[in-house]
Amino acid sequence: MADHPVDEKLPALKMATTGLQHVAAMYAGVVAPPLIVGAAIGLSATDLTFLTGACLFTAGLATFLQTLGIWRIGARLPFVNGVTFAGVAPMTAIVASTEDKSDALPIIFGAVIVAGLLGFIAAPFFSKAVRFFPPVVTGTVITLIGISLLPVAFGWAQGPDPAAHDYGSATNLGLAAVTLLIVLLLRRFTTGFVKQIAVLLGLVAGTLIAIPFGATDFGPVADAAVIGFPTPFHFGAPQFQLAAIISLCVVMVVSMTESTADMLALGEIVDRPADEKTIAAGLRADTLGSAISPLFNGFMCSAFAQNIGLVAMTRIRSRYVVATGGGFLVLMGLCPMAASLIAVVPRPVLGGAGVVLFGSVAASGIQTLVRAGLDKDNNVLIVAVSLAVGIIPITAPEFYHAFPETARIVLDSGISTGCVAAVLLNLVFNHLGNKDAQDVTHPMEAGEELTGTSRAPAAP
């Protein structure tokens, strides 16, 4: 009996090239979170390179867990795992509320460890409770993720230092605009592999264009070692603060919801429908990968939906191809020089690409909301109020100024507050005493649109 296409092992060269394609499609999404958080902390170029490499390394480990699996861990589907964008806004809120910035990463790592372990324990139960996270909830949260991150792109576009004389200059904004234009042109006029890596190519082109303007610094590459290892707890032993833990536990719920939707979609694409057992195993891989990640200085991990679209487009369904991609991620994490390349990219260039990168997250959320049944008044109210609550920290940053600092770690994250509001409102309007509640089941029903899944961001 022939192997199912998911379990097929391709020739070595094809395995390597298609594995690299998966890495290219998600690379920008993996390196952006450490860049955002590292910049918020004020890390040096060396430490920023180290953090980026650590996130690549842990993404590879999490991908191994998900594709190859051990025991009841891993969906054993062609899933690429990487740093979830859902955690970026709460993590930057933790950084902002931490007086000594050197404690910020240990606090984040401690919260990720706890959230990962709790998520691992909850995985089999969550796979049953997923009906409480329909598209009206997940779509709202994903939209908020994109909206929350766009100000970061706008800040990058102006330059690396708000105190610098050229911050917001025509040169910086011009570099951002040119990079954005290049990405858009590549997305419009190319196909296949080139189209998938449009953001990556845009970053390269923007960096080269920035050289004559003196905006590109190759120092980080020259100073980086060829071979290195993400030393465990490089930034200090994890610290455990309740408010930070609560905030990232909310992120874990969001991440698990999105991963469930992705598994349902991918199962249909590869003709191996994801049942409750598969979903529970996949969630265990996500959560265990997240719990292990801080040991090597990485962040919370989750499935990347742009790679699901890549599977659908190429029709190469082998999980071993994606596992090979995970191997490349590990190798990149063990090569500081490779990780340092992203530190060369000028901040305005990152800003231009970030408009597409983060904007696509919000667009993905809107796509999910389209499936939410917004012709129903109840769902319109849920989305309206949840978005309003989630946007408060963005439009009125001092809104919660009178609250204790620990509470503000949660309240200042529009993703966390918006998610809680959406879940509670969905329970009130669509479940409690509602005879139509049985119609609201999974975040994505099998057989619905399969390539427009909820996980973002793409290398769009």
Top-confidence residue, 392 or 315: 392
Within 159-241, residue ranges assigned H as helices are 170-189, 192-196, 198-210, 219-223
Is the predicted pLDDT of residue 223 greater than 80, yes or no? no
pLDDT at 377: 82
pLDDT at 437: 47
Helix (H, G, I), strand (E, B), or coil: what is residue 183? helix
Cβ-proximal residues to 70 (8 Å cutoff; 6+ apart), any chain: none
At residue 460 the predicted structure's pLDDT band, cuts being 50, 70 and 90, is: very low
Give the pLDDT confidence of 125-169 residue by residue, as tens digits. Answer: 887 776 777 888 878 877 887 788 788 789 889 987 788 888 889
**Averaged pLDDT, 393-422:** 80
- Looking at the DSSP bridge assignments, the partners of residue 82 are 302
Question: For residue 313, what is the enclosing H or E element?
Answer: helix 305-314
pLDDT at 444: 44
Give the Cα separation of 444 and 138 in Å (integer). 10
pTM confidence score: 0.70
Top-confidence residue, 229 or 2: 229
**Residue 86, by phi and psi: left (phi above 0), alpha (psi -120 to 50) or beta?**
alpha
List Cα–Cα distances, 380 to 302, 367, 423, in angstroms.
Answer: 28, 15, 14
Within 130-189, residue ranges assigned H as helices are 135-158, 170-189
Q: Which two tokens stand for residue 50?
A: 């180290």
Q: What are phi and psi of 85, to 5 degrees?
A: -70, -20
Closest C-alpha among 144, 141, 134, 147 to residue 373: 134
Top-confidence residue, 20 or 36: 36
Is the predicted pLDDT of residue 364 greater than 80, yes or no? no
Cβ-proximal residues to 3 (8 Å cutoff; 6+ apart), any chain: 9
**Averaged pLDDT, 411-432:** 83
Q: Return the residue matching tokens 């793409």.
A: 458
Q: What are phi and psi of 302, to 5 degrees?
A: -160, 170
List Cα–Cα distances, 381 to 328, 378, 385, in angstroms.
Answer: 45, 5, 6
Query: Domain segments of the chain: what residues?
Result: 5-133+153-347
Mean pLDDT across the chain: 82
| Least confident segment among 4-8, 103-107, 167-171, 403-407 | 403-407
In terms of Cβ atoms closer than 10 Å to its own Cβ (0-12, 13-18, 19+), residue 256 is buried
Of 108-122, 234-248, 251-265, 415-429, which has the strongest mean pLDDT?
108-122
Q: What are phi and psi of 82, to 5 degrees?
A: -160, -175
pLDDT at 439: 45
Count, residues in the chain: 460
Is the predicted pLDDT of residue 452 greater than 50, yes or no? no
How many CB atoms are closer than 10 A to CB 76? 19
Give the Cα separation of 160 and 167 in Å (integer). 8
Is the predicted pLDDT of residue 105 greater than 90, yes or no? yes
Give the pLDDT confidence of 275-330 residue by residue, as tens digits. Answer: 888 889 999 999 999 999 999 999 998 887 667 766 766 677 888 989 998 998 99
pLDDT at 89: 79
